[in-house]
Amino acid sequence: MKFDIACLTLEEKLHLLCGKDWWCLENANGKLPDFRVGDGPSGLRKEIDGTWVSATLMPTLSVVSNTWSREMAFLDGETIANDCVENDVDVLLAPGVNIKRSPLCGRNFEYFSEDPYLAGTLAKEFINGVQKSGIGTSLKHFCLNNSETDRTHTSSEVDERVMREIYTRAFEIALEAKPWTVMCSYNKVNGVYSAENKWLLKDILRDKLHFDGLIVSDWRAVGIFYKAIKASLNLIMPHENDSFDNLLNAYNKGLLTDDEVDYSVQKILDLMEKAVSAVKTIKYTKKERHDNAVKIAEEGIVLLKNDNLLPIIKGTCLVNHPENPLINGGGSASVKTDFKMPDIIELLNKQAKSGAVFEKASHRNCEFILRAHDCDTVIITVNGEIEQETMDRETIKLSNLEEERILQLASANKNVVVVVIGGSAVDMSAWIDSVKAVVFCGYAGEGLNEALANIITGKTCPSGKLSESFPMCIEDTFMKLNHGNGFVNWYNDGVFVGYRYYDKYNLDVLFPFGYGLSYAKFSYTNLKIKKLGDTDFAISYDITNESDFDAKEVSEIYVKDVFASVIRPEKELKAFSKDLIKAHQTKTICCKLDKMAFAYYSIPSKDWYVENGEFIIMVGSSSRDIRLRDTVSINLDESIQYSKVSKY
Ligand code: GLC
C-alpha cells in the first residue's frame, strides 16, 4: 500500500514530524494508519494511561551477548516480537549496540559488548528475529553514548578512525539486517548534538553507512527542531505541546524548506508502508516465550570459576538466594512480567541427581553461617546495586555487606559457590580466592531460577562466555586517563577499548573477554587456512570434547596485523562460532574471513584500507587463551590496495 504525500496538507506533514504523544505517530486526520512504537531490549514495555501491559521478561542483551549465539539472538528478537504483534506495537525500540567503553556505564546491561564485531553480529540477528515477525526495530543510540551520567549535555570528542573502527562499526554490521529505524543518541558528538548533527546523520549514517530508513530522535533529545530535520533526522519524539508550533514557526521563517519537510515525511510514509504491508506472525505461545527466556538465559550464564565443585550432584547444599533477585536493569528497558519465578530450592531438588539435597538458608545470618558449617556445599547469590539508565555506577565492587557475607561463609565452609547477578563487570578481588566456584548470571530475565538450577545440577552444561572484560579493579581501566569533565568526554583511549586496552598495556584482568568455563574439556587441533582471494580466507579447525558431557563451545578468531603503519590493537575479534560437540566427539569448525578482518579505517583516504603484509590468525577459547595460530600474507596490487576497500 502506498501513502501519497501529495494528499497531505502542510499542517498534517508538520504534525507527522513530531509525533502524536509519547508512543504514537499522527495519522493525518485518518489518511494514514495508527502507528505505535514501544520499548525495549529486554521485552515489550507498553503502557496505556499508566497501566503496563504484561510481557515476557527476556534476559537483557548483555546476557544474550554472553551466549555468543547467533541463534539465541535471533530467538530473543523473535520472542519479543510476538508480544509486540499481540499488543499492536509496530516498532520495537531496540537493540542498543553502544560499545561498553567503561564497566561503570549504567546501561551496559542493555548493550552487547566492548567489541563491535560481536555486538554488531548479534544485533543483526536480533533485528532479523524481530523483523521476520513483521515488527520493525530501532537500532540505537547513534552514537558515542557510552556513559549515562551527564548524557544529555556531554560532548563525545573522537576522531573519525576511532569512531568508524569502534563506535559506529557495530551499527555498520547491524545495518546489514536493514532495521526499519535508527535512533540517535542524547549526547553531542564533537560539539554538536547527535539529533542535530548533519555530519553524523547525513555524511556518516546515510552516506557512509548507507542507511536509508527512518532516523528517530531519542526521547526529548532534540533541542532545535528545524535543525534536526535539516540534519537528516526524520521523526522528533515524543510529542510536546510546542512541537508543532516549533516547526511551523521555523517553516514560516524560511528556516525549513518544503523539500526538507517532504524528505522526512516520506521517510515516515515509507515506515508506515513497511508496517502495514508486513506479515505479522505469532510463532510462540506465552508458555513457549517463557521457555525461550529460560533457554537464552541458560546459554548466557557464564561459569567463571569452578574448583571441581559444580555441578552439585551429591551431599547437602545450603542455598541463600533472594526471593526477588534482580532480573533486569532499570529505566526504559523495564518490563512488567506476570510470571512468578518458581522457588529455586524446589527446582534444584527436582533437578538434583540422586544423592544431592538442597536446603533453603535461613534469612538470619548467624543461623545461616552456623548451618553452613554442617553442609557439604553452600551457594550464595549476590545482586550488587541495580544498574540503570541515566546514572553510571560509582564502583564495580559488590557492597561491603555482600563481600563480608561471602568471606564469613568461606570461613564456615570451604565449598562456597557465589552466584553473581549484575549488569556489567564486577570487581571480585576481595573474595574470589576464598571461594571455589563463581557463576555470573547477568540480568537473566524471568527464566533466571530455572536456568540457574539447570546449570547448578548439571542438567545443562554452561556455555556462556564474557562479552566484556572483567578488570581486576576500576583503576585498571581507562578511567585513570582524563576522559572527561561532565561536559566533554575525550575518547583518548582511541581504538584501545576493552580487551584491546588491556592487551595494549599488558594488564592482567580478572576474567578476559571471551572467557567462560564448561563442565566439558575441549582441545583444539588441525588449523587449516585456505586463501580464496585477495583478502578472503577459509579457516577450519577441529575441536574435541574430551569429557562425558555433551556441551557447546564458543571458539573465537582473532587477527593481528604484524606490522602496520598506524597503531593497531594486539588482536581483534573477526569471527566466532558456537557449536554443540557431543561427549568424546570431534567437530570441524569452519569460518570465513573477508577484507574487513584485515582493514583499518584510514582517515586520509576516508575509507577502510587493507595494508599489504603479514597477519596472524589466532583461534582461541578466549581472547587470552589462544589455542591455534598461523600467519597469512596479503599482497594487493598497488592499484587496488589504495582503492576503497568497501567498493570491492
Ligand atoms: C529513553 C531511552 C531510549 C528509549 C526511549 C523511549 O530515554 O534512551 O533507549 O527507547 O527513551 O523510552
pLDDT of residue 644: 43
**All 3 cell numbers of residue 535?**
583478502
Q: Hey, what's the cell of 225? A: 527542531
Residue 245, phi then psi, degrees to nearest 5: -60, -35
Residue 91 CB–ligand 1 contact under 6 Å: no
Looking at per-residue pLDDT, the higher value among 536 and 362 belongs to 536
State in Å: Cα 217 to ligand 1 middle.
Answer: 9
Q: What residue has cell string 544529555? A: 152
User: How far is 102 from 493, CA to CA, in rounded Å?
Assistant: 11
pLDDT at 49: 85
CA distance 430 to 405: 12
**Span 134-152, average pLDDT:** 97
39 in ligand 1 pocket by Cβ < 6 Å?
yes
- Verify whether residue 218 is a known catalytic residue: yes
C-beta 334 within 6 A of ligand 1: no
Q: How far apart are CA 388 and CA 328, in angstroms?
A: 9
Mind listing the pLDDT tens digit for each residue in 313-358? 999 999 999 999 999 999 999 999 999 999 999 999 999 977 899 9
pLDDT in tens, 586-605: 999 999 999 999 999 999 98
CB 122 within 8 A of CB 468: no
Which of 442, 478, 321, 399 is closest to 58 using CA atoms?
442
Give the amino acid at 544: T
pLDDT mean across residues, the chain? 96
Please tell me the predicted confidence (pLDDT) of residue 641: 59
Instruction: For a ligand 1 pocket test, name from 111, 219, 220 the mutation site with the most ligand atoms within 8 angstroms of its C-beta.
Output: 219
pLDDT at 430: 97
Catalytic residue from among 76, 83, 90, 218: 218
The DSSP H or E segment spanning 174 is: helix 169-174
Q: How confident is the model at residue 63 (pLDDT cuts 50, 70, 90)?
A: very high
The residue whose C-alpha atom lies closest to atom 8 belonging to ligand 1 is: 218
Give residue-wise pLDDT tens across range 564-580: 999 999 999 999 999 99
Categorize the per-residue pLDDT at 384 as very low, low, confident or very high, splitting at 50, 70 and 90.
Answer: confident
> How far is residue 248's CA from residue 23's CA, in Å, rounded to a whole number?
22
pLDDT given at position 486? 79
Quote the DSSP letter at residue 386.
P
Q: Residue 46: CB within 6 Å of ligand 1?
A: no
For residue 481, is pLDDT > 70? no
Strand, helix or coil for residue 498? coil
Q: Best substitution site from 139, 186, 215, 332 to test ligand 1's pocket, by max atoms within 8 Å of Cβ?
A: 332
The greatest distance separating any two alpha carbons of the chain, rounded to the nearest whole angstrom, comes to: 80
Ligand 1 atom showing the smallest separation from residue 238 Cα: 6
Sign of torsion over alpha carbons 367, 369, 374, 377: positive
Q: How far apart are CA 117 and CA 597, in angstroms?
A: 10
Q: Decide whether any atom of ligand 1 lies within 6 Å of the 187 Cβ.
A: no
Distance CA 403, CA 371 (A): 19
User: How many Cα atoms sit within 13 Å of 301 on the Cβ side?
Assistant: 32
At 419-445, the pLDDT tens digits run 999 999 999 999 999 999 999 999 999
> pLDDT band at residue 48, thresholds of 50, 70 and 90?
confident
C-alpha torsion sign, points 160, 165, 170, 173: positive
pLDDT at residue 106 greater than cutoff 90: yes
Lowest-confidence pick of 1-5, 11-15, 94-98, 554-558: 1-5
Location of C-alpha cell 555470573 = 440
Length of the chain as a residue count: 648
261 Cα: distance to centroid of ligand 1 (angstroms): 25
Question: What are 153's three cell numbers?
Answer: 549535555
pLDDT bucket at 2, cuts 50 / 70 / 90: confident
